[in-house]
Structure 1
Amino acid sequence: MKRYNIVVTAGVIGIIFLILIPLPTFLLDFFFILNITLSLVILCMAMYIRETLEFSVFPSMLLITTLFRLGLNISSTRKILFDNGYAGQVVKTFGEFVIRGNAIIGFIIFLIIVLVQFIVITKGSERVAEVAARFTLDAMPGKQMAIDADLNTGLIDEQEARIRRSKVQREADFFGSMDGATKFVKGDAIISIIITLINFIGGILVGTMNKQGSITEIMQIYTTSTIGDGLVSQIPALLISVATGMIVTRSASENSLSEEVTRQFLAQPRVIMMAGAAAACLSLIPGFPVIQILCTSAALLAGGYYLQRKQKNLIEETVPGMVEAEVTSEADFYKNMDNVYGLLNVEQIEMEFGYSLIPLADESNGGNFIDRVVMFRKQMALEMGFVIPSVRIKDSGQLNPNQYSILLKGEEVARGDILMDHFLALSPGPDADDIPGIDTIDPAFHIPAKWISEDRKIQAEMAGYTLIDPASVVITHLSEVIKEHLYELLNRQEVNNLLENLKKTNASIVEDTIPGVISPGSLQKVLANLLREGIPIRDMETIIETVGDYGKQIKDTDMLTEYVRQALKRTISHRFSEAGQMKVISLDEKIENMLMASVKKMETGSYLALDPSSIQSIITASTGEINKIKDLVNVPIVLTSPVVRIYFKKLIDQFYPNVTVLSFSEIDNNIQIQALGNIVLT
């Protein structure tokens, strides 16, 4: 690899010397052929790359190839003027092939080629590169916010976020470089016209001074060499200009340009057949070549018919055949009683999609929803110490095409609507610019949003909107639903899996505690209590140790959970504090005494027996304080004494379920507590 680096460096230095050092004719011919070949390689690279960053060196290649052509132009000009119009076989052959004995026609053809490159291709590529550079730079903040959002929700890890940030930065650098590099192509087209005129006029003057023949012979000699030299340089320049246009106009796709063109054209056989029928109508125009028109029309009609039949046969083989086989064998299948019992199985987590949303989960068509579910499972394991079950995904004819449904244990718990080929736009604030779109509600957080089309994406990003793609909307909604119902997904089998995993590192603590001190069923209730209030169960060793210490004396799983929570105070403090500070609402001593006086204990546990008026007073006071601070904190935290916490939590959950209730014993000593209010009965 280092040797190749030296070759590239030496090549660039050698190009500089082309301008100064005269080249022998055979070497000049070799460099002309090399220039054309290199241009073909660059054009093919532009067609087969899947995204622009795969050819990120292209702006530098534009400079190198342009400099190479200019060096060859200067060397060939030197040969034309010094060697009586002869600059090698390549230049001579190109000139004679185009001119064919008529200098005026040859010059016109050369001029057309240069103007096509300069006015059509180069000018268009320059404008697209300029716009792409500006839009890419303007979109950077929105892309960075989307990456941060995916990282915060656990859809990607830190390494993936770093890679994506680097890609965004490289894209901005690439299109910024392309904006300037296209000026090389534009300048190359202009200088080629100037060099051609210099060769032509200078050649005639030199030929006249050297008395090479009559003025007609001199013009024929130097016209041939001038146009040949111009074509030798302009054909590679034209190829690279086309490559430039292809790169800057590439849209977001998963395949190369050749694959995309082939797939998208062949996917519409009806359009091909309509074009063939329209082409056949051209034969009715008097004077048009009928044979050529009918051949073209027949080819389009036959090709379209063949593709249509192929698609139809594929559908018949994959869908109706399977349905028919299922229907005809259904009765025989359910004669087996085991198959009937199989209908009773209930999946822990299911997702149903309307048919328009199936591409989200179809990996063969680029859908990445399943991979994102896997990454969410990893994030939940790291964050909560719980491995969520597999998510069964299926389509449903009962849903609208754009709807999806989330089911837990066979029952629907959430539903949402999304629009494919749109982005969910979250407004940055009330003063944000209004972007045209379809008003909706974010299904995960229930906040106002808009669905905007892809053509308004740049406009929305520049206005400060946070844009979320459809797959991210669904996975975010799924993650919020699972977090809310996580405790329901903890079954006996998963508890056993957690214990077996702990045995790998500390088998003695499991054997001493389970089932001697506490049964797996009671442990499941303790763990479910923790998950219900968002407490991670990753530190199973501490949980089992605490249960082993208090389990013999305390049989009430709710009270046992309180001791476990106190043992996990470092985890709880880290989860609910920010920068070592926790903003809370305190509970008045009078309310705590009222709650403790109303606690009724039974053999199976304890419960709160308050009269309705007292409950109403406590809830009213709590709601008033919570509403005062809801703009200051994301999740309200109420701080109580240890003996009251569980009872106040059960009371407030009936009316305000999203409130976190902590006790003083659950907060680490190094956490600074800031009281924002106090719940007092009036």
Structure 2
Amino acid sequence: MANLATKLRLPNLKKTQWQILAGPILIMMILSMMILPLPPFMLDLFFTFNIVLSIMILLVAMFTQRTLDFAAFPTILLFSTLLRLALNVASSRIILLEGHNGDAAAGQVIEAFGQFLVGGNFAIGIVIFAILVVINFMVITKGAGRIAEVGARFVLDGMPGKQMAIDADLNAGLIGEEDARRRRAEVTQESDFYGSMDGASKFVRGDAIAGLLIMAINIIGGLLVGVIQHGMELGAAGETYMLLTIGDGLVAQIPALVISTAAGVIVTRVATHQDVGEQMVTQLFNNPRVMVLSAAVIGLLGMVPGMPNVVFLLFTAALLGWAWKLRGKEVATEHQAFTDGDSGAKAEQAAHQAADANWSDVLPEDILGLEVGYRLIPMVDNDQNGELLGRIRGIRKKFAQEIGFLPPVVHIRDNLDLSPTQYRISLKGVELGGGETQPEKWMAINPGGAIGDLPGQACQEPAFGLSAVWIDEVLREQAQTQGYTVVDASTVVATHFNHLLAQHADEIFGREEAQLLLEHLEKEMPKLTADLIPDTVSLTTLHKVLRNLLSERVSIRDMRTILETLAEFAPDKPDVEELTVLVRVKLGRAITHHWFPANSEIQVIGLDIQLDQILMQAVQNGGALEPGIAQNMLIQTDRALQRQQMFGAPPVLLVNPALRPMLARFLRRSMPHLVVMSNAEITDNRPIKMTATIGGKP
């Protein structure tokens, strides 16, 4: 097996071995050129390789459709710059050593650039070299460097928004986890690329400056070497060494200009499905009106006496011919679109008449939905970095961590039937809550101790019903100073959504969520779940027990305790309500800590002894409460809750274990915020204080 694996990996190793060694070989080649003297033939090979490399880099930049498809460009730019500088060092060495022997002393490439391109005239060569350096240094390099700097700044500034957009798409279910990871990696690579381009552009700028300095040094050094060491005449030495130096400079600056152009193409392009050439042709030569107007201007100039009439009129004819061709294509496209539209309309009408209802017309309701008016669309729009999307994502994550299961994805859509600033939260297609919010203003909420009034539109905080005011942003600090809690519009909607999510957790926890939770537990606790479900406890029983806990705001995070309790008692007590009571007792420490997190005394509401006896008798006899006693209990419980609120204590009623299920069902209908606990669930050794007592008499 080991030999087989080695054979399977061997082709891949052979395929990538030369790629791995390409970088070190190039570095060693550059260092050797700087240190070792090269013969003229080797110098010709390296100069030709440099020209070929620069052309290849430019063509790859032209044909690249996305910037990240050429992410190695900053590194390639560094290596190509080092290669040119190493060639300058090597050529300068051979020019100064062998320049007195004639123009061919430094190789045929330098001789060709010095003789053929500038006609053997060193004055013309200096001018052309200076022009190339000015074009490269002042125009292309400077512009590309500035664009790279601005691009890096904007890409880095836009990273948080792009990350939020990815999280929002993941949260809304538009993409999967794998797509989200890939898009996050692309955002990171894009920021790294533009940051690298910002620094790599300095290499090109420094290369242009180095070219000027090397040229000056070679000319001065050549004159000194030729006149002093080899006894040449000043004019002859100047002509020989200047031609060699200019040839050396041109053979290095032309590839530098090509690579600078490639850098400009990379940083100036806009990412589409087309390469640069396709973008230029399709966007520049695709409008017949532009062609006609350009032909008219050139034609008028061509009629002016003294102008090159033939050339101008030739271009006029070419532009008019191209405009005629484009216009013919537009007419054909419009006719085809009209024909297709007419055929499509007829087909759609026929299909509408013939189509019958099918199962595709039955659309399931969204578990959780959020509908917004058109003025609130920016709050939930990916392209506008809507803050509400990120807040909802955070709410779902926090809910999963605190409650113990992952709620369904929230489907967000706009609804023109709502008022512009209205929103509506729904569960399984039924409205749970909604309200009005002002996207340009801030809500100043009075928690109960705020001082003074604020100018603005009076309203009510939708989640908890507190009095509030919509104020302008300039009044934000004043409101906070007066004791108001100030939040933005997206926070108002998110808080309301979070409140409703926690309040209806048992309705959200469907059978599908129970199945997903069980699959998660099978990975975390495989032995426990395999022994329990479905042999001892069915998925239906587990789902009902968990929903009972969630209906009374008990977290199901501690699934180990829940499953162990069911494994212990389910064989003898199959009733779901009895199992729920037993699970609550086992979770007593967590329930107590949730409502009484500090180490101080436990302040609760209690029952009068007489009422306790009456209720116990009713439970044992299986009868209902008398209407008078029930009404009196509701009134006194409401007063006790108000008293608890004054003390800042949790709304907890502590009763006998036998009474807890019945009182929880009875009181929760009128007072959903009330928590009913039994004495058996208080596991801490902290003192218990009755802040209020509910009596049995009116």
Q: For the superposition of Structure 1 and Structure 2, which TM-score range results when normalised by the shorter chain?
A: 0.5 to 0.7
Q: The residue matched to 2:37 in structure 1 has which SS?
A: coil
Query: Which range moves more in the overlay, 125-134 or 13-22?
Result: 125-134
Partner of 2:4: none
Partner of 1:620: 642
Q: Equivalents in 1 of 2:60, 2:401: separation in Å?
A: 42
Partner of 2:87: 72
Instruction: String of CA shifts for 1:23-73, please: whole Å, max 9, x gaps.
Output: 111211111122223334444555638455973x65554443322211211
Instruction: String of CA shifts for 1:336-381, please: whole Å, max 9, x gaps.
Output: 7xx3x875664344869999999x999xxxxxxx9xx999999999
Shift of 1:192: 0.5
Residue in structure 2 matching 1:330, options 352, 358, 365: 352
Q: Equivalents in 1 of 2:277, 2:667: separation in Å?
A: 63
The one-letter code matched in structure 1 to 2:91 is S
Shift of 1:75: 1.9
The one-letter code matched in structure 1 to 2:246 is I
Shift of 1:114: 1.0
Residue in structure 1 matching 2:247, options 206, 210, 228: 228
Shift of 1:233: 1.2
- TM-score scaled by length of structure 1: 0.63
Q: How does 1:66-145 map to 2 (within 5 A)?
A: 66-81=81-96, 82-83=98-99, 84-86=102-104, 87-100=106-119, 103-129=122-148
Q: Equivalents in 1 of 2:581, 2:155: separation in Å?
A: 53
Residue in structure 2 matching 1:20, options 32, 35, 38: 35
Change over 3 Å in CA distance of 1:220–1:610 after alignment to 2: farther
Instruction: String of CA shifts for 1:78-132, please: whole Å, max 9, x gaps.
Output: 3334232333232233344532466544433322221122122323344455566
Shift of 1:545: 3.8
Change over 3 Å in CA distance of 1:274–1:611 after alignment to 2: farther
Shift of 1:229: 1.8
Partner of 2:314: 291
Q: The residue matched to 1:19 in structure 2 has which SS?
A: helix
Q: The residue matched to 1:347 in structure 2 has which SS?
A: coil
Q: The residue matched to 1:194 in structure 2 has which SS?
A: helix
Asked if the contact 1:269–1:304 (Cα under 8 Å) also holds between the matched residues in 2, the reply is no
Partner of 1:454: none
- Total equivalences in the alignment: 604
Partner of 1:535: 555
Q: Equivalents in 2 of 1:249, 1:300: separation in Å?
A: 28
Q: Equivalents in 1 of 2:585, 2:91: separation in Å?
A: 86
The one-letter code matched in structure 2 to 1:536 is I
Partner of 2:451: none
Q: Equivalents in 2 of 1:603, 1:270: separation in Å?
A: 89
Asked if the contact 1:403–1:417 (Cα under 8 Å) also holds between the matched residues in 2, the reply is yes
Shift of 1:17: 2.9
Q: How does 1:364-513 map to 2 (within 5 A)?
A: 408-411=427-430, 485-490=504-509, 506=530, 510-511=534-535
Instruction: String of CA shifts for 1:461-504, please: whole Å, max 9, x gaps.
Output: xxxxx999x9xx99999999777655335556776898899899
Q: How does 1:173-212 map to 2 (within 5 A)?
A: 178-200=197-219, 202-203=221-222
Change over 3 Å in CA distance of 1:72–1:618 after alignment to 2: same
Q: How does 1:536-615 map to 2 (within 5 A)?
A: 536=556, 541-542=563-564, 544-545=566-567, 548=570, 551=573, 557=577, 561-568=580-587, 586-590=602-606, 609-610=631-632, 613-615=635-637
1:238 aligns with 2:257: yes
Change over 3 Å in CA distance of 1:551–1:178 after alignment to 2: same
Q: Equivalents in 1 of 2:687, 2:107: separation in Å?
A: 86
Q: Equivalents in 2 of 1:467, 1:34: separation in Å?
A: 62
Change over 3 Å in CA distance of 1:329–1:17 after alignment to 2: closer
Instruction: String of CA shifts for 1:127-174, please: whole Å, max 9, x gaps.
Output: 45556667777888x689969998998999999999999988877776
Instruction: String of CA shifts for 1:540-570, please: whole Å, max 9, x gaps.
Output: 7447547726755x67x4x753433334458
Change over 3 Å in CA distance of 1:577–1:345 after alignment to 2: same
Change over 3 Å in CA distance of 1:320–1:223 after alignment to 2: farther
Shift of 1:664: 7.2
Query: Which range moves more in the overlay, 395-404 or 581-590?
Result: 395-404
Aligned residues: CA RMSD: 6.7
Change over 3 Å in CA distance of 1:130–1:488 after alignment to 2: same
Change over 3 Å in CA distance of 1:214–1:269 after alignment to 2: closer
Q: The residue matched to 1:38 in structure 2 has which SS?
A: helix
Q: Equivalents in 2 of 1:234, 1:26: separation in Å?
A: 20
Q: The residue matched to 1:588 in structure 2 has which SS?
A: strand
Shift of 1:393: 9.2
Q: How does 1:8-47 map to 2 (within 5 A)?
A: 8-43=23-58
Q: How does 1:273-288 map to 2 (within 5 A)?
A: 273-287=288-302
The one-letter code matched in structure 1 to 2:29 is G
- TM-score scaled by length of structure 2: 0.62
The one-letter code matched in structure 2 to 1:621 is R
Instruction: String of CA shifts for 1:612-662, please: whole Å, max 9, x gaps.
Output: 642442342344455x9xxxxxxx7858567487657975786675x8877
Q: Which has the larger radius of gyration?
A: 2
Change over 3 Å in CA distance of 1:153–1:308 after alignment to 2: same
Change over 3 Å in CA distance of 1:343–1:592 after alignment to 2: farther
Q: Equivalents in 1 of 2:284, 2:433: separation in Å?
A: 40
Q: Equivalents in 1 of 2:126, 2:581: separation in Å?
A: 93
Change over 3 Å in CA distance of 1:582–1:640 after alignment to 2: farther
Shift of 1:278: 4.0
Change over 3 Å in CA distance of 1:668–1:275 after alignment to 2: farther
Partner of 1:347: 365
The one-letter code matched in structure 2 to 1:292 is F
Instruction: String of CA shifts for 1:291-336, please: whole Å, max 9, x gaps.
Output: 324534654674587479769968996x9877754542334333x7
Asked if the contact 2:172–2:409 (Cα under 8 Å) also holds between the matched residues in 1, the reply is no
Q: Equivalents in 2 of 1:323, 1:352: separation in Å?
A: 34
Change over 3 Å in CA distance of 1:96–1:496 after alignment to 2: closer
The one-letter code matched in structure 1 to 2:28 is I
Gaps of at least 5 residues in structure 1 are: 363-369, 427-441, 451-465, 629-635
